[in-house]
Amino acid sequence: MMDLKFIRENLAQVEEGIRKKNASLDLSQFRALDEQRRRILAQAEELKALRNRVSEEIAQTKKKGGNADDKIAEMKRVGDDIKNLDNELKNVEDQLYQLQIRIPNLPHASVPVGKSAADNVVVKQWGEIPRFDFTPKSHWDLNENLRLIDFEGGAKVSGSFFVNFQGKGAKLVRSLINFMLDLHIDKHGYTEVFPPFVVGREAMFGTGQLPKMEDDMYRVEADDLFLIPTAEVPVTNLLAGKMLAGADLPINYTAYTPCFRREAGAYGKDTKGLMRLHQFDKVEMVKCTRPETSYEEHEKLLQNSEEVLQMLGLPYRVLLLCSGDMSFAAAKCYDIEVWAPGMQKWLEVSSCSNFEDFQARRANIRFRPEPSAKPQFVHTLNSSGLALPRTIIAIMENFQTDEGTIVVPEVLRSFMGVSVLK
């Protein structure tokens, strides 16, 4: 969340940022509540000053042997008024807080202003779009003979938008996870963690999923726990409430987890094959950095995600998201999209975000630049490295042959034990 003092002192800038984020949030109530807060504080301070002054007078009167009963009664009424004002102040500050946590992060100055995905900017493209001397098939058509994915079985045991990988398909999932983790750990220098797949409400609030997106999450009602929508949630919150040493930053974590999202396919879009699933696998990277280096680390994070696709030999492009297409918590975000020739579409496989101190304020993650320095909030970042379902789509569709087989990318062959899926 944003600093309340910053909001109060820069309300016009915050309102402009909300408009750029294409969010519907009216801050007129914030203005009214903040003005009410100032009035209550002024009244309370005035009464407290009066109480202090009269209390001194009462003491002097008693010291001289006089009667101070009237003033004592008056100060009891003043004390009751102060108590009522304090209760009123708490109520107003609670309402301000509820507004504060619903204000989205402001877009960074380098983010293009726009309203939707149509306004995103392609900043890079890598690799050659494959050309076939036959009509390339979609991954679901290829799967009819290969049987890597059991769509019917997944739906049978769990319902729509769940799948069961089987045989070489299951091994492909495991191979991709191991390949990506090894790359991020051994080459990119991340520390692997293996976090819980369910988290409490406080963790979901810390990374910004709650309260805005509660309806999109799977919730275990009896325990008020949530199935994680991304490893970003448990991994970032491993640092919640901590005071870190500046010398230990940046902290770089990577993790494999399944991810659970109720909204998959909810709008009747891209519902075929592996495009939208309620449960999917993903390898995630999370960074915790000093504020002054976070945008440098953001570019490194993007490169780490890109390298996965480069080593797999998959053509991709990088988009800088416009202000209106970014998430609630992001200040700047790149999407990486891989080409799927069977579907003739670019598919998002990674979202690489810098949240600045937005999540750190919610989760209370701070550091001291020097041992005796004043604490500051860290900056948090995360990126998919990568999401598996659409990466598997890209592998199947880019490396298909006219015989309906799939050539396994060279970097996966030692994991898979085969060079062709057939």
- Asked if 309 contacts 126 with a C-beta cutoff of 8 angstroms, the reply is yes
Domain that holds residue 327: 117-421
pTM: 0.93
CA distance 422 to 419: 10
> Could you please report the per-residue DSSP string of 176-204?
HHHHHHHIIIIIT-PEE----SEEEHHHH
Mind giving me the DSSP string for 352-405? EEE-TTHHHHHHT-EEESSTTSPPEE-EEEEEEEEEHHHHHHHHHHHSB-TTS-
Q: Is 202 inside a domain boundary?
A: yes
Asked if 131 and 68 sit in the same domain, the reply is no
In a domain, residue 111? The reply is no
User: Is 112 contained in some domain?
Assistant: no
- Cα–Cα distance between 407 and 422 in angstroms, integer? 9
User: Are residues 278 and 398 both part of a single domain?
Assistant: yes
Same domain membership, residue 382 and residue 278: yes
**Do residue 417 and residue 287 come from a single domain?**
yes
- Domain-terminating residue out of 100, 133, 151: 100
**Domain match, 74 and 164 both:** no
312 shares its domain with 392: yes
Q: Which of 100, 132, 164 is the last residue of a domain?
A: 100
Query: What pLDDT score was predicted for residue 64?
Result: 87
Does residue 108 sit within a domain? no
In a domain, 166, yes or no: yes
pLDDT of residue 84: 96
Contacts of 83 (CB under 8 A, 6+ apart): none
State whether the Cα torsion 265-269-273-275 is positive or negative.
negative
Q: Is residue 273 part of a domain?
A: yes
Q: Does 254 lie in the same domain as 128?
A: yes
Spell out the residues 6+ positions from residue 195 whose beta carbon is closer than 8 angstroms to its own.
231, 234, 235, 238, 255, 257
User: Are 63 and 203 found together in one domain?
Assistant: no
Cα–Cα distances in angstroms (integers) from residue 185 to residues 281, 283, 381, in the given order = 18, 12, 17
The answer to whether residue 110 is domain-embedded is no
pLDDT at position 271: 77
**Domain termination residue (choose one: 40, 66, 100):** 100
Looking at residue 37, which CATH number applies to its domain?
1.10.287.40
Q: Which residue type is seen at 340? A: A
Residue 107 inside a domain? The answer is no
Same domain, 88 and 160: no
pLDDT of 263 reads: 76
* pLDDT the model gives residue 76: 92
**Sign for the pseudo-dihedral over CA of 202, 232, 349, 128:** positive
Total structural domains in the chain? 2
Q: At 295, which CATH number?
A: 3.30.930.10
Q: What is the per-residue pLDDT for 348? A: 98
Residues 74, 121 within the same domain = no
Q: Are residues 94 and 214 in the same domain?
A: no
Residue 145 sits in the same domain as residue 175: yes
Contacts (Cβ under 8 Å, ≥6 apart) of 211: 101, 102, 205
Phi then psi for 379, rounded to 5 degrees? -105, 140
10-residue mean pLDDT profile of the chain (422 residues): values are 95 96 93 96 95 91 88 92 96 96 97 97 97 98 97 96 97 98 98 98 97 93 97 98 98 98 66 93 98 98 98 98 97 98 98 98 97 96 98 98 98 98 96
**354 touches 379 (CB < 8 A):** yes
In three-state secondary structure terms, 168 is helix
CA–CA separation, 320 and 301 (whole Å): 14
